[in-house]
Every structure is written in C-alpha cells, then in structure tokens.
Amino acid sequence: MKKAKVSKKDISTEEKIKEAARKVFTQKGYSATRTRDIAVEAGLNLALLNYYFRSKQKLFEIVMIEKMQKFFSILLPILYDNLSSLETKIESIATSYIDLILVNPDLPFFVMSEARNNPEIINKVAQKKDFLKNSVFIRQIKEKKPDLNPYHLLINLLGMCVFPFIMKPILQQISDMGEPAFKQMMTERKTLIPVWTKAILKSK
C-alpha cells in the first residue's frame, strides 16, 4: 500500500513539472527558458526538477513530441483513410483542426516556432519521412486535379484553419472583436473553408 502511494506521488510530481514546462516553453520558447523558470512555475525546487528530468533539452523533447503528436494525431488518420472521399477529408481536416486549436490556442504558435528551430523533432513524431507524399489524400488530389501541385491545396487548407488564430490579437484589435465573436467566426469557418477549398479543385 505504501509503495502505491509513493508511485502515485511520483506521477503527480512528474506531471506537475511537465505541465509547468508546457506553459513556460509555450510562453518563452526553448532558448529563453531556464530550468529554474520551470521549477518556479511548478512550485518545486530545482534539485527535484533535475531529479525527474536531467536536462532542459530532455524535458523540451518530451513536451515538444507531445504537442507535435497532438498536431499530427488528427491529420494522419484523415490523410490515410481509404474509405472517405477527398471532399470528406477536406471537411474533416477543417473541422478537426479548428476544434483542436479552439481548445489549445497556443498550439500553433508553439509547434510552428519550435518545429522551425528543431525540424528533426518531426522525425520523432512521424513514423516515416515520406508519410505525407504517400498518403491517400495526396493521391486523391492528383487524381482529381492532375495539373495542381497537391501541396498547394494542403497548405491553403491548413493555412485557412491556423492563420486566423495566429492573427487573433491583431484581428481583435483592429475589428473590436471580442472572444465570443471570434469563436463564432471560427465555427463558421468550419463550413466555409471546405467550400473555398473545393472551389480550388473546380477552378481551371
């Protein structure tokens, strides 16, 4: 019984450190973050943090991989679904990503900035380097519109989902848009983005 309690406490402390790391890394980025900052955020002493995670790099990799997996976990099943049509995939991507970012508004900032600085981290998340090139989604785009580089469509689709969140502070400032109005706009985009994306496929 005593051993179970210790184990539960250990898990609780480890999760507390990881949660603090997620917050601090997201706010400051990897380079500007010190292990002491994470320890303070977690309400623990530095020695205890170092006991659980030997280095800032190790802790960052854990947090980064978690966030990248969250980012990719929605995309990959949709891209490789053999049963759904291209149009259905487009609708699923738009809805899933907007829902994900509404719940995790800092996710695109963190993933994009740190993936740019640490591109090798993507290899630890994606099982294969050519996971996108060999996807059903890319094949369906080529079949639907052979003269279109399929990555144009994917970039446009993801950009329309993610960019408003990146621009949110500026958009709210220049349009006097409150949080409820912004969420309503993003909810509307779950329907609009597939319409716009399918129009690209129909264009000559």
Domain boundaries, the chain: 10-54, 63-202
Q: Of residues 203 and 189, which shows the higher confidence score?
A: 189
Taking the C-alpha atoms of residue 71 and residue 115, their distance in angstroms, rounded to an integer, is: 12
φ, ψ at 176 (rounded to 5°): 55, 40
User: Is pLDDT at 181 greater than 70 in this prediction?
Assistant: yes
* Residues whose CB is less than 8 angstroms from the CB of residue 164 and which lie 6 or more positions away in sequence, other chains included: 171, 185, 186, 189
User: Is pLDDT at 10 greater than 60 in this prediction?
Assistant: no
End-to-end CA distance of the chain: give it in Å, rounded. Answer: 70
In whole numbers, what is the pLDDT of the chain averaged over residues? 85
User: Is pLDDT at 17 greater than 90 in this prediction?
Assistant: yes
- The tokens for 202 are 């129909």
pLDDT in tens, 97-127: 999 999 888 777 777 776 677 667 666 655 5
- Mean pLDDT, rounded, for 58-63: 83
- Mean pLDDT, rounded, for 63-92: 87
* Residues whose CB is less than 8 angstroms from the CB of residue 153 and which lie 6 or more positions away in sequence, other chains included: 141, 145, 197, 200, 201
**Whole-number pLDDT of residue 109:** 75
Taking the C-alpha atoms of residue 49 and residue 178, their distance in angstroms, rounded to an integer, is: 39
CATH architecture assignment, domain 10-54: Orthogonal Bundle (1.10)
